[in-house]
Amino acid sequence: MSTTLFVYTLLHVAVSLAGIAAGFFVMYDVLRSRVSPTVTKFFLTTTILTSLSGFGFPFHGVTPGHVLGVLSLAALSLALYALYAKELAGRWGTTYVVAAFVAQYFNFFVLIVQSFQKVPALHNLAPTQTEAPFAATQVLALLGFAVWGTLATWRFNAIGHTAAQQQLTT
């Protein structure tokens, strides 16, 4: 691997991990019907950069990573539009919550895939990523995100997103 590609990979991973960490703070805030403008902007920015920088790696043909990157950018576009253009008005609050959770899940999904590819102990458990430990990890992650996202959506709508809208302007 060339030095340039190595540095690019390190930056991509650092931005990805920062986005995932910020995403969990955003998910926690949304569960409490809150929107932290600073953390939310950081999450959205780093997650967009993660998806875009994923296209900068050498490749031949379309890969599953490219498809996931496009889907993530679509979810992020919806989240941005709901949050900034529609200011969470009406059902746009729900759109924002769902889109943010989907983008976070996609990043976490890739983290699991990369962990099973790169971390020796995990790779030994599922070298082809068709084994039970890998599948169980992905299913548990999906279920966790589905439950957390559903609860967050209900709470965001039930408690009202007026407070979240006000937090955007402060």
Give me the domain span that covers residue 93: 3-104+153-169
Whether 142 is covered by a domain: the verdict is no
Total residues found in the chain within this entry: 170
Mean pLDDT of 4-14: 95
Whether 147 is covered by a domain: the verdict is no
Per-residue pLDDT tens digits for 63-84:
888 999 999 999 999 999 999 9
Q: How many CA atoms, within 13 angstroms, populate the side-chain half-sphere of residue 31?
A: 14
In the prediction, which pLDDT does 162 show?
59
Cβ atoms of residues 18 and 46 within 8 Å:
yes
Whether 112 is covered by a domain: the verdict is no
Whether 25 is covered by a domain: the verdict is yes
Whether 95 is covered by a domain: the verdict is yes
Q: Helix, strand, or coil here: 65?
A: helix
Tokens of 23: 């995403």
Say how many domains are in the chain.
1
In the prediction, which pLDDT does 157 show?
78
In the prediction, which pLDDT does 156 show?
84
pTM for the model:
0.91
Whether 86 is covered by a domain: the verdict is yes
Per-residue pLDDT tens digits for 110-168:
999 999 999 999 999 999 999 999 999 999 999 999 999 999 998 887 765 555 665 56
